[in-house]
Structure 1
Amino acid sequence: MSKGTASEDVRVSAGLQVKAAPVSGGGGLTWLQIVRLALVQTALGAMVVLTTSTMNRVMVVELALPAIVPGALVAIHYALQMLRPAFGHGSDGGRRRTPFIVGGMAVLGLGAVGAAGATALMSTSPTAGILAAMLAFVLIGAGVGAAGTNLLTLVATHVAPHRRGPAATLIWIMMIAGFAVTTGLAGQFLDPYSPARLVAVTATVCTIAFVVSLFAVAGVETSGSASAANSAATAAKPAFRVALAEIWGEAETRRFTIFIFVSMLAYSAQDLVLEPFAGLVFAMTPGETTALSSAQHGGTVLGMVLVALAAPLLARRLPGILTGLCIAGCLGSALALGLLSASGFDPELIQELVALTPLVFALGLCNGIFAVAAIARMMGLAREGAKGREGVRMGVWGASQAIAFGLGGFLGTVAVDLTGQILGQNLGGAGSAYAFVFGAEALLFILSARLAFRAVTRPSAQPAPVRREPGPSSSDVVPA
């Protein structure tokens, strides 16, 4: 990845050179500042999980609504992620990103509380409640997009190269922690369930999360990061469509966007099919399948931690360590999914080779390795190409990831149903349907490994034609 001078970036647009000071001096963000920013991701995860998990269950179980209702509402949230490049563009050109983070968290909080109120309304007036929920999920999607994009861009542009791998791991793990802590505590306070209790718990969680995010970002992005050149940089910033066209004109950015989409499609497609597969094919109880899912998540976290530890230690001897870990994670995931696919046809044979739980743990381990290595590499790539476009670049990748996540979960379940109907009992019943789906995911991960090699190991493409004059040279540095 390209790294400019230790103390400044040179931003060039329309023939004008503008210098912008860093956030925390030449050394980048300190570990304390990185931890504080990771707390924002924890707060974001705490708000989101209530809407995608808790309210989902309430709509389907307590209110007896069709599963398509919460599914469509979550789809609205994912659809709004298409705006991520626009949110990133808004803070490019020398502007501070903190207001976008705080504003996004505020909108997200309002949307989450609104969604709880709308869910409560559904119990007495379903139509009005669903319409209100649609508006609330628009706010949720916009808030996640604005806060998430600018948080990752702030980290990407101000974390020193040797800290990007651990920083990516920390941010991801703390988001998962937000999910876990919130669902655990909220579950206790929601019993016995009532609409009023749902609104009260959601409002409390969102208030705490917003206050935490305020304290987390306070003073991290100092006034030095918004230098005296801000007005010139902002004036020189092109329109969003022009900036987006410039970014998409960068071959490396385009290749990495495709890699993110394909790999995250494979990653997310397994989420909603693994537990039903274990129950139908291996006759596991609900408690056993929950434990299986826990084993997968445990493997994912371990994979992330391994990347955080290995990358700094091996970076100097193996400068392409992140690329290698990313490819290895993809290929390992493909192998594990291939074995799961085989178990769909012959559960007894696969049990003789490797037990299901260790196999699923290995799948999670490889998923974690590839995911964090990809995110760390993404943080470095965000600073390549035309300067002053980091927000748009991160927004494009964030939109690609969000769309893949939304499609992956949906297509995975649809593929199981369709394949099962087509195959019927001819090739082993339900097990064969899951086998074909896992096999397709394995192929996607193999394709992802190839895309990763092409996307992050070739020399950086020249940024889109023009609007640029020669500036200080950059050395090619791979983050540890």
Structure 2
Amino acid sequence: MTLSWVQIIRLGLVQMCFGAIVVLMTSTLNRLMVVELALPAVLPGLLVAFHYGIQITRPNWGFRSDTKGNRTRFIIGGMAVLAAGAFLAALAVLWMAHARTAGLILSVLAYGMIGVGVGASGTSLLALLATATAPRRRAAAATITWLMMIFGIAATAATAGHFLDPYTPLRLMQVVGAVTIGALILTMLAIAGIEARVIAGREPEPMPFRQGIAEIWAERRARNFTLFVFLSMTAYFMQELILEPYAGLVFGFTPGESTKLSGAQNGGVFLGMALVGVLSTGFRIGSLRLWVATGCMGSAAALAAIIATGQTNGALFVPMVVAMGFFNGMFAVAAIGSMMALAGQGRDAREGTRMGLWGAAQAVAAGFGGLTGAVLVDLARQALPDAQAFGLTFGFEAALFVISAIIALKVIETMPGRRPVASGLAVPGE
């Protein structure tokens, strides 16, 4: 028995919970450290990079879910650790205002917990989707669940932004507490009983993790796609830690306004994903290769426009941020669809290991990209005005998107055994 559409949507609710918690860490807490506490942008950059670095364990979580079963346990347990880590991260920001060292120590612990929680829960969830979803539904299921995650990010950013103004420490803890507790409860309700009702594929023979990951890395298709994920996601995440500080320092946005900006950006991501899904599945317009390249080039163009707004006036700043999100979503949904479709290819019963490998590549790229953006801004601000310093960094990110588009045209085109598919929404070989 495989997952029904209702069960896929229920798993999407878990993805929505991931987005709701993580957006507070990468946007709201990041902005408070850089603007309200006047800390260098590299500090939250290092913390977020640390949480991504912890996720290099994703292949291990995926392998364990392939060989040990009971993915529900990992999903709920990981979400509990994630929620606790996010709450402690918010508390640590408040401590930094009065006890800098204690706050930093607590932040390291909290962001480590966030990394463990996302790695364990997220990888196990994607493995369950890949193994229990009918082959013809795999990529579409990935699109649905990712759209729900983006919705969770956008809705939480907008709602949290509303309740954070006027900002007080008490308001921060109330908002974070409500989001984390609500996410954990919703996850438990959404995942309950699903795994027991579906056959998630046959269990592979027991073997050491090192041998299992070596077998996957030996697959040329999996290896090439891993490299593409790393390069493209480095570009994708470079603005994550600097966009809200840019809004605050250059355009004078309040904490609530900059949090709403993140919601607007992710609203654009949602629209980009939805449009590609409708055009590719309903009308069979476009291909995986086309959507990835178009999304990357469009993201580069939107970044160029954002740079221009900082040098002239901010009238078009928010629309250009939404446009960047739109093209980001266009690129992301094509990459995610391909990832889910390719997870079931190669050696049988290794979906979790492959998803873990690609998830680790994405996490490392996210940490590297976010930290690189923060470091470049800090260095540039030593010699340039804020608008020019951020503009230089956004320009570097735009160049990476152009390079990623070129690489995508080569890597995706040369994938063996692949026929043209609409945005990755048809499984290769079907």
TM-score (norm: length of structure 1): 0.74
Q: Which one of 378, 382, 399 corresponds to residue 443 of structure 1?
A: 399
Q: Name the counterpart of 1:130.
A: 104
Q: Name the counterpart of 1:258.
A: 227
Q: Name the counterpart of 1:387.
A: 348
Q: How far apart, in 2, do the equivalents of 1:394 and 1:357 lie? A: 34
Q: Name the counterpart of 2:421.
A: none
Q: How far apart, in 1, do the equivalents of 2:161 and 2:59 lie? A: 35
SS at match of 2:51: helix
SS at match of 2:195: coil
Question: Alpha carbons of 1:208 and 1:434: their partners in 2 closer, same or farther (altered >3 Å)?
Answer: closer
Q: How far apart, in 2, do the equivalents of 1:132 and 1:278 lie? A: 27
Listed one character per residue, the Cα deviations across residues 417-473 of structure 1 (whole Å, up to 9, x for unaligned) are 545667x6xxxx7666555544433332232223323333334489xxxxxxxxxxx
Indicate yes or no: 2:54 matched with 1:110.
no
Q: Name the counterpart of 2:364.
A: 403
Contact 1:120 1:199 in 2 (8 A): no
Indicate yes or no: 2:423 matched with 1:456.
no
Deviation at 1:390, TM superposition (A): 1.4
Q: Name the counterpart of 2:214.
A: 245
Range that drifts further, 81-90 or 201-210: 201-210
Listed one character per residue, the Cα deviations across residues 150-195 of structure 1 (whole Å, up to 9, x for unaligned) are 1122223333455445433332332233334434555566677776
Contact 1:264 1:401 in 2 (8 A): yes
Listed one character per residue, the Cα deviations across residues 288-319 of structure 1 (whole Å, up to 9, x for unaligned) are 9888766644432221111111221244xx7x
Q: Which runs of 5+ in 2 are unaligned?
A: 419-425
Q: Name the counterpart of 1:328.
A: 294
Q: Which one of 332, 338, 354 corresponds to residue 377 of structure 1?
A: 338
Residue type at the aligned position of 1:90: R
Q: How far apart, in 1, do the equivalents of 2:380 and 2:329 lie? A: 29
Question: In terms of Rg, which structure is larger?
Answer: 1
Q: Superposition pairs for residues 8-407 of structure 1, below 5 Å?
A: 25=1, 28-57=2-31, 59=33, 68-93=42-67, 95-119=69-93, 121-122=95-96, 125-186=99-160, 199=173, 201-225=175-199, 230=203, 233=204, 236-273=205-242, 284=251, 286=253, 296-315=265-284, 321-337=287-303, 343=308, 359-407=320-368
Question: Alpha carbons of 1:197 and 1:268: their partners in 2 closer, same or farther (altered >3 Å)?
Answer: closer
Question: Alpha carbons of 1:29 and 1:405: their partners in 2 closer, same or farther (altered >3 Å)?
Answer: same
SS at match of 2:70: coil
Deviation at 1:64, TM superposition (A): 6.3
Q: Name the counterpart of 2:423.
A: none
Q: Name the counterpart of 1:473.
A: none
Kindly, what percent of the aligned residue pairs are identical?
A: 48
Q: How far apart, in 2, do the equivalents of 1:374 and 1:76 lie? A: 24
Q: Which runs of 5+ in 1 are unaligned?
A: 1-24, 463-475
Deviation at 1:29, TM superposition (A): 2.2
Question: Alpha carbons of 1:114 and 1:412: their partners in 2 closer, same or farther (altered >3 Å)?
Answer: closer
Deviation at 1:416, TM superposition (A): 4.2
Q: Superposition pairs for residues 418-437 of structure 1, below 5 Å?
A: 418=379, 436-437=392-393
Question: Alpha carbons of 1:134 and 1:364: their partners in 2 closer, same or farther (altered >3 Å)?
Answer: closer
Contact 1:252 1:455 in 2 (8 A): no
Contact 1:345 1:431 in 2 (8 A): yes
Contact 1:268 1:409 in 2 (8 A): yes
SS at match of 2:57: helix
Q: As a proportion of its length, which structure holds more helix?
A: 2
Residue type at the aligned position of 1:176: I
SS at match of 2:193: coil
Question: Alpha carbons of 1:179 and 1:430: their partners in 2 closer, same or farther (altered >3 Å)?
Answer: closer
Residue type at the aligned position of 2:228: F
Residue type at the aligned position of 1:167: A
Contact 1:415 1:437 in 2 (8 A): yes
